Amino acid sequence: MLEVRGVERSFGRMKAVDGVDLTVAKGTITGLIGPNGAGKTTLFNLIAGSLAPTAGEIRFEGHAIGGLSPDRIFRLGLARTFQIPRPFPGMTVLENAMLVPLQQAGERFWNNWFRPGTVGGQERASRQRALEVLGFCGLGDKLALPAGQLSGGQQKLLELARVLMIEPRLILLDEPAAGVNPTLMETLVDKIVALNKQGITFLLIEHNMDLVMRLCSPIVVMAQGKVIFRGEADGVQRDAAVLDAYLGDVPA
């Protein structure tokens, strides 16, 4: 579904992403782990269009997407959440979800709701979908709350709800569990599993190893801009290069 080939991105003289090959197979929850500064978020930025690669190729369902705008990539059905949630804090939870431009998401959902020529049809469709996805994400009782008043964990769920507005086929999640309390984390895990069963593929960055081991197969490990391991949970814990990368990261 996603193919990354020889992708590079430099910042000055530093190669934050250094010749990465990565494939994400349809239907998987693929984990992407690695120590701080490994280049994981930079790779997400390259895949989702926030940054252009300095070399290499990125394909999503066969389309070459490297260097396309985030908006184009989103409309192709590839959505991402941010390591630090970015809601509009003064707008309500419902408004934040409704801001996602539905009409560009393709026809499937749209045809169900949109009645051509009806003033307000677009907004009704958007509201309807927002109510669905916010309810699914457990935010149904927070609709009128300014998004800035949500807890960190609830903001992560709002991020998920926002990407679900367009019915994406691949979702990139950047540290969905960071700063999330254990109860909300279970909710988040349940939602990811449920969405995956519905056919949505995930690529997930996470430092919470318990969550990664439970949820992800396969697991890809990055360190210093390179992929150093690809395999299953049992293998990752025994791999010498992976242990090395993590131990090297422990402050003295």
Ligand X SMILES: Nc1ncnc2c1ncn2[C@@H]1O[C@H](COP(=O)(O)OP(=O)(O)OP(=O)(O)O)[C@@H](O)[C@H]1O
Shortest approach of ligand X to residue 229 CB, angstroms? Answer: 14
* Both tokens assigned to 5: 């080939």
Under the binding rule (CB under 6 A), the answer on residue 81 touching ligand X is: no
Tell me whether residue 141 or residue 210 sits nearer to ligand X (CB atom).
210
* Both tokens assigned to 102: 């539905």
Instruction: With contacts defined by CB under 6 A, name the span among 34-42, 58-66, 99-107, 123-131 that binds ligand X.
Output: 34-42
Distance CA 79, CA 56 (A): 21
Under the binding rule (CB under 6 A), the answer on residue 39 touching ligand X is: yes
Shortest approach of ligand X to residue 45 CB, angstroms? Answer: 7
Residue numbers 83-142 binding ligand X by CB under 6 A? 83
Residue numbers 6-65 binding Mg ion by CB under 5 A? 41
DSSP 8-state code for residue 123? H
Under the binding rule (CB under 5 A), the answer on residue 81 touching Mg ion is: no
Tell me whether residue 42 or residue 96 sits nearer to ligand X (CB atom).
42
Residue with tokens 């391991």: 229
Phi, psi (degrees; rounded to nearest 5) at 251: -65, 140
Distance CA 180, CA 190 (A): 14
Residue numbers 7-26 binding ligand X by CB under 6 A? 11, 16
Interface mask toward ligand X for 42-61; x: CB under 6 A: x-------------------
147 burial (CB, 10 Å; 0-12 / 13-18 / 19+) is buried
CA torsion 42-48-54-56 (nearest 10°) is: 110
Tell me whether residue 74 or residue 82 sits nearer to ligand X (CB atom).
82
DSSP 8-state code for residue 54? S
39 binds, among Mg ion, ligand X, none (CB under 5 to 8 A by kind): ligand X
CB 203 within 8 A of CB 170: yes
Shortest approach of ligand X to residue 114 CB, angstroms? Answer: 38
Distance CA 233, CA 218 (A): 7
DSSP 8-state code for residue 178? T
Instruction: With contacts defined by CB under 6 A, name the span among 32-40, 125-133, 136-144, 148-156 that binds ligand X.
Output: 32-40
Tell me whether residue 76 or residue 172 sits nearer to Mg ion (CB atom).
172
Under the binding rule (CB under 6 A), the answer on residue 34 touching ligand X is: yes
Q: Which residues bind Mg ion (CB under 5 A)?
A: 41, 83
